[in-house]
Chain A
Amino acid sequence: EAGVTQFPSHSVIEKGQTVTLRCDPISGHDNLYWYRRVMGKEIKFLLHFVKESKQDESGMPNNRFLAERTGGTYSTLKVQPAELEDSGVYFCASSSRLTGWGTEAFFGQGTRLTVV
Chain B
Amino acid sequence: AQSVSQHNHHVILSEAASLELGCNYSYGGTVNLFWYVQYPGQHLQLLLKYFSGDPLVKGIKGFEAEFIKSKFSFNLRKPSVQWSDTAEYFCAVKKAAGNKLTFGGGTRVLVKP
Contact = CB atoms under 8 A, between A and B. Distances in A.
A106 B32 CA distance: 15
Interface residues of B, number: 24
Contact of B99 (A48, A91, A106, A107): A48
Interface SS majority for chain B: loop
A71 interface: no
Interface string B90-112: 10100011111111111000000
Contacts of A1: none
A95 interface: yes
Contacts of A106: 46
Contacts, number: 58
Nearest to A4: B43
A26 to B, nearest CB: 12
Contacts of A31: 99
A101 B43 contact: no
User: For this complex, into which size category does the number of interface residues on chain A fall?
Assistant: 20 to 34
A91 B44 contact: yes
B75 to A, nearest CB: 18
B70 interface: no
Contacts of A42: 4, 103-106
B99 A109 contact: no
Nearest to B30: A101
Contacts of B4: 42
Interface string A33-65: 101000001111100100000011001000000
Contact of A104 (B34, B97, B98): B34
Contacts of A33: 99-101
A105 B101 contact: yes
Interface of B: 4, 32, 34, 36, 42-46, 49, 51, 90, 92, 96-106
Interface of A: 3-4, 31, 33, 35, 41-45, 48, 55-56, 59, 91, 93, 95, 99-110
6 contacts: A33-B99, A42-B106, A45-B102, A56-B99, A101-B51, A104-B34
